[in-house]
Amino acid sequence: MPDDLYAKSLVEEFSADLISNLYGNPHSASTPSALAGHRVDTIRDRALRFFNADPEHFDLVFVSNATAAIKLVIDCFKDYAAASNTPVWYGYHKDAHTSLVGVRESTKLHRCFATDEEVDIWINSGGLGGPRARQLGLFAYPGQSNMSGRRLPLNWCGRIRKSFHKAATYTLLDAAALASTAPLDLSDPATAPDFVALSFYKIFGFPNIGALIVRRESAHVLESRKYFGGGTVDMVIAVNDTWHAKKNSSIHDRLEDGTLPFHSIFALDHGMNVHERLYGPNPMKFISHHTSQLGKQLYNSLSNLTHSNGLPLCRIYKDDNTTYGDPSVQGATVAFNVQHADGSMVPYEEVEEAADDQGSFVRSGSLCNPGGMATYLNWSPAEMKAAYAAGHRCSKPTQIMLGKPTGVVRVSLGAMSIAADVQNLIRFLDNTYCHGANRALLSTPMSLAHSTPLSPPPSPGPRPTVSPLNIPHALYVPPQHSSPSLAQNATGRYGILDNAALDSTALPQQPSPLTIEPERAKNPPWNPQDYINMRKPWEAEMRKQHAQTYNVGMEIKVHEVEDASTFSRNPTPSVKARKFGRSVVNLLRTKSHFVDNNRVPPLPTNPPLPPGEPPREASNSQRSRKSVEKHRFQDNVDALGL
């Protein structure tokens, strides 16, 4: 059950757009490039309004994902602090994602708030225990815990701005999990966060890009960034000087390095179109209500699953102050562990693998939420260090240590999730771990919850078609509508399945008549010669014309390799050959294995002295041995041909 899936219509409209229009790099001045640049600016404003953010008070910077947005903020903060000779203080909530926790390594002063009460006390005290006067402060927290789904107060940002007068403390909201199933309202700049990191992939399923929304009154903190990339400067001197001039037209112009993923940005435009068509003029409000009710069904069903001895099947990790079904405090995310009838824990990866085999897709592990894991699973810092020393890793976990699990199973419900998904998961857990002890709970489909069924949004009217943009005739490519195929349909063939059509709360779809296609003939076996025959016609002729040049080039390469041999046509050894020869000589001088293993036949020993000749003196004998070694070395060199 992923956060969200992309709809079939989104892929079709995006493909038709690219087929019908020609786009170029927005940094160029050509007609396709100007077209792309104008459309990127239009989509940027539309994305801001999707979150009720007025472009006069906010700007949007396109990034690769939410983590990249967080990193961009702290990089700018470090450079701003260095330029103003001001230390940076960083505070973060315990429910923060790993990407938020990692920011602390870039600051010398940091603090983790273990509870909401600590944050409230800190704000009410005017920043006591936080940044001091004339210090630069940054407080970051998630809008929704990516582990338990608990939604944190959004009014902290406005309260911090009003309470902190001496210390400049800014707020960073990680809205990646929150914005996927809840409306993010930035209509009031006075209470909105200074910086918002989010992911469009988690909202629409496609494209895989993110954004950093910047409050314009706080943008000056980001303007001291030292690094600059292509497209962010007006002038650069590279030789004999280190001067450059940054762009000052807008915030995103100074922070978007290099070429934007403009094709993905165009897909974002279609994602917003599809969302409004499927879920109404206010899609996130409808999705929030829909997922909230599904989350309530899931939580109630998991809570009611028991073993035959009455022990609960699931150990659910939930904040005591939140209630499933109330979207203001709780999202549609449930984290739990499965336990046996004797109370022992089932390894969480085994649950994920078994659920995957049954068609229910969940996530298991530590979920990149170290604070939430340590709190709910009762792991102390000393125990976590001991677990690491014992070999536990996030990528290769030891699932149960010291009698406690090191991770959880997480179920996330999104806009495309339906009640049947919840039923399938509950049925799988009951059959696999309770041996059908809860069949009465699953006897009727509506026994999962007693809430009223959701009503679909008003019909948005006919589906719009993608028309080609106003571009020169020479650049226009006529559209070719095609239906890519992924999932098996009723005819037995494979076609992309629009997940929204399965949603019990989505708009009703008109049933399409079944079309029986003739069975295609099987493709013949692959023959590599067919690929050669399909090549460009001039390729074979080109090979014939350059065959002689190719052979000559090969001869030159062979001669270079044989340069140091006696058969080389070049009598002068190359530099490489001379280096090789010197290395061999050095090896022989150090009595290497060539000499020690007697690869060269040893020289005959000195003949005995004639009778009557007096023996030589010690000095002469010593010189004789040196002479023998010298001759032996020279013979070895001659034998090797050096």
Query: Cα separation of 23 and 37, whole Å?
Result: 9
Q: Are 336 and 368 in contact (CB under 8 A)?
A: no
DSSP H helices in 175-261: 178-181, 201-204, 251-255
How far apart CA 560 and CA 385 sit, in angstroms, is 58
Is residue 254 a contact partner of residue 248, using CB atoms and an 8 Å limit?
yes
What stretches of 508-562 show up as alpha helix (H) in DSSP? 528-533, 537-545, 547-561
What stretches of 50-114 adopt beta strand conformation (E)? 58-63, 88-93, 109-113
**Contact at 8 Å (CB) between 279 and 456?**
no
| Ordered DSSP codes for 295-322 | HHHHHHHHHH-B-TTS-BSEEEE--TT-
Beta pairing class for 88-93 and 109-113: parallel
How far is the C-alpha of 576 from the C-alpha of 583, rounded, in Å?
Answer: 11
Catalytic residue among 76, 368, 394, 434: 368
Question: Beta-carbon neighbour count of residue 195 at 10 Å?
Answer: 28
Instruction: Tell me how far CA of residue 253 lies from CA of 1, 45, 51, 59, 234, in angstroms.
Output: 37, 14, 21, 10, 10
Helix (H, G, I), strand (E, B) or coil at 442: coil
Q: List the alpha helices (DSSP H) in 451-502.
A: 499-502
What tokens does 526 get? 């692959």
CA 39 → CA 23, 122, 268, 470, distances in Å?
10, 44, 11, 12
Contact 364, 349 (CB under 8 A): yes
CA distance 314 to 426: 11
* Of 430, 394, 416, 420, nearest in space to 500 by CA: 416
Q: Are 205 and 4 in contact (CB under 8 A)?
A: yes
How many whole angstroms separate alpha carbon 336 and alpha carbon 429? Answer: 12
Q: What's the rounded Cα separation, in Å, for the pair 184 and 154? A: 10
Contact 215, 58 (CB under 8 A): yes
SS3 state at 287: helix
Distances 550 to 70, 304, 533, 562 between C-alpha atoms, Å: 54, 77, 22, 19
Reply yes or no on whether 368 is catalytic.
Answer: yes
Contact 280, 457 (CB under 8 A): yes
SS3 at position 427: helix
Catalytic residues: 368
